[in-house]
Structure 1
Amino acid sequence: MGDEKRGLREEARELFKLFFEKSKDVQKATAQTIKEITDKTLKEVQPSKEKVKEITEGILEGIQDTRKEVGGRLEGVIKTLQELTERATSTVREVITGVVEGVEEVSEKEKREECLKYIKERRSVTFFDPDREVPDEVLKDILNIAALAPSGYNLQPWEVIVVKSRDKKKKLREICYNQEKVEEASANIVIIANTNAAEEHVDRVLDSWVELGYIKEEERDSLRETILAGWKSPERRKRKAIRDSALFAMSVMIVARYFGLETHPMEGFDEAKLKRFLGIGRGKLVPLIVAIGYRHPEKELLPRAYRFKFEEFGKIV
């Protein structure tokens, strides 16, 4: 009996790891594991409470084996599985439904908590580890994810130049009024607001909207005119480009925390010199630069400075 029990647990464990490797999703892997075993291994046999416990115990072992890949988010999932295992009845459908629904509920809650964690962890760090370099691929991943930020009519009026080489960081430091963090950071992301984005991007945006079914082909021309009309005045162009580029920059800083990196947004620089240095053309503005890198291991981050509460900056009407 001991070998049979261990065999069922081992099978559940290995199946979970196999499914998790494919989906990287605890909920899906759990549901697939239970279904696979009940459909194929147990076939027509109605599992007893003991067999159900063996299955969920095996899944728990699989979760423990893979926990490093998804970190702390597993704690709630493990607790849910353990509780449901203890409450298992002889009706396997109850257990399967309970496990899947319970894992789904906890997974969603932990995803929300993880998102809030990165937002709350973001700080404007002034000291970076000059000896640790952020790989180019990581920087590209961060920027690609941050580019999911919203923008008016999806025009995405931002561009970036990542200043990473030692020589260029040294020159950039001079342009940024000798701020030490510019040179210590692994890279500096120059956020560029493109005031010509409407004319340059509108056709690609509308083509995708027609293709995806957001609008009909016959609506395209009139919508194009509406979009361009909103960018006619120089003041509107500037406001829209800077606003959306700032949303993108904020996304960069939050996503950077997911990758274990620190950031610092900077507005202290000579924009005219910066544009000449990097060859940034007319119609483009630089609202800020984001220094990015690893925090210096020997320096302590002070507690977060005072933040205004809702009652001090807002009201509900």
Structure 2
Amino acid sequence: MNIKHLIESRISVNRFDTSRALSDADISELVRLATLAPSAYNFQNWKFIAVRTPQAKERLKEVAFGQQKVADAPVTFIIVGTLDAHAGLPQALKPSVDAGIMPQTVADVWVGMARHTHPGNPQLQRDEALRSASLAAMTMMLAAEGMGLASSAMSGFNASGVKREFNLGEGDVPVMLLSIGYAAAGNWPQKLRKPLREVMEFA
């Protein structure tokens, strides 16, 4: 399917087929594709926790206001944005430098710029964490569609509870939950959107 069709056919699923599982290879492929999303400076300031065992699902469901799809979907990802991304930027850029994609001089400039603007600016760090994790989550949703799967993104969860239950650190920001699996019968079709005239303007 082409990308236009994937976007037009995607729905937010509340009912998952509990009889169909996802393999570790499928789960890993979803994460691999998600990591191809863009991020400022190529920070890659994200982490993905694949919640798939019954015990882990129950712990997550408890801090996700009892949403049943957390238990029913084969996997629910905790999409995490990370703070202090500037500290790891040299390591994040090194593979691109080693591959000849980016000159070391450019990488050094990027590292210098990030180290100038990000330390001591928690709002900027948080904004970048939210942006990067959200871009990765949307990329994962489209990847799921392309693999014949369905997804449901959730903002309904207790962030401090998620951090406690899944041992996240101070620099980890739970951005959203993303359940992925096979859709069961009874889901709504894609809900209608506002007309372009209400949301678009030319400048």
What's the TM-score bracket when you normalise by the shorter of the two chains?
over 0.9
- Opposite residue 194 of structure 2, the aligned amino acid is F
Distance, in Å, in 1 between the alignment partners of 2:14 and 2:147 is 18
- Opposite residue 94 of structure 2, the aligned amino acid is D
Q: Deviations over 1:182-219 (max 9, x none)?
A: 1111111000000122212x112332343344544445
| Unaligned runs of at least 5 residues, structure 1 | 1-112
2:197 matched residue in structure 1: 311
Tell me: CA distance 1:162–1:216, structure 2 relative to 1, closer, same or farther (3 Å). Answer: closer
1:6 matched residue in structure 2: none
Tell me: CA distance 1:216–1:137, structure 2 relative to 1, closer, same or farther (3 Å). Answer: closer
Q: Rg larger in 1 or in 2?
A: 1
TM-score by structure 2 length? 0.93
Shift in Å at residue 272 of structure 1?
Answer: 0.8
Q: Deviations over 1:135-161 (max 9, x none)?
A: 111111111012111111111111011
1:211 matched residue in structure 2: 98
Shift in Å at residue 310 of structure 1?
Answer: 1.9
Whichever structure has more helix as a proportion of its residues is 1
1:235 counterpart (101, 123, 126):
123
- Opposite residue 224 of structure 1, the aligned amino acid is V
CA contact (8 A) 2:14 2:187 kept: no
Distance, in Å, in 1 between the alignment partners of 2:102 and 2:109 is 11
Tell me: CA distance 1:308–1:222, structure 2 relative to 1, closer, same or farther (3 Å). Answer: same
3-state secondary structure, aligned to 1:189: strand
1:247 counterpart (135, 139, 142):
135
- Percent identical among aligned pairs is 27
Distance, in Å, in 1 between the alignment partners of 2:110 and 2:186 is 53
Shift in Å at residue 220 of structure 1?
Answer: 4.3
Distance, in Å, in 1 between the alignment partners of 2:103 and 2:66 is 53
Where in structure 2 are the equivalents of 1:91-102 lying within 5 Å?
Answer: none
- Opposite residue 191 of structure 2, the aligned amino acid is A
3-state secondary structure, aligned to 1:236: helix
1:155 matched residue in structure 2: 43
Distance, in Å, in 2 between the alignment partners of 1:314 and 1:279 is 42
Tell me: CA distance 1:204–1:116, structure 2 relative to 1, closer, same or farther (3 Å). Answer: same
Distance, in Å, in 1 between the alignment partners of 2:62 and 2:106 is 50
Distance, in Å, in 2 between the alignment partners of 1:313 and 1:216 is 40
- Opposite residue 197 of structure 2, the aligned amino acid is E
Whichever structure has more strand as a proportion of its residues is 2
| Unaligned runs of at least 5 residues, structure 2 | none
Tell me: CA distance 1:301–1:155, structure 2 relative to 1, closer, same or farther (3 Å). Answer: same
2:145 counterpart (257, 281, 291):
257
2:62 matched residue in structure 1: 174
- Opposite residue 283 of structure 1, the aligned amino acid is G
TM-score by structure 1 length? 0.61
1:196 counterpart (84, 90, 101):
84
Distance, in Å, in 1 between the alignment partners of 2:116 and 2:179 is 35
Distance, in Å, in 1 between the alignment partners of 2:71 and 2:98 is 45
Tell me: CA distance 1:258–1:213, structure 2 relative to 1, closer, same or farther (3 Å). Answer: same
Q: Deviations over 1:92-131 (max 9, x none)?
A: xxxxxxxxxxxxxxxxxxxxx6221112121110000112
1:186 matched residue in structure 2: 74
2:112 matched residue in structure 1: 225
1:124 matched residue in structure 2: 12
The structure, 1 or 2, with the larger RCO (C-alpha pairs under 8 Å, 6+ apart) is 2
3-state secondary structure, aligned to 1:160: strand
Q: Deviations over 1:266-316 (max 9, x none)?
A: 1111111111100000111011000111111xx233332220122111101
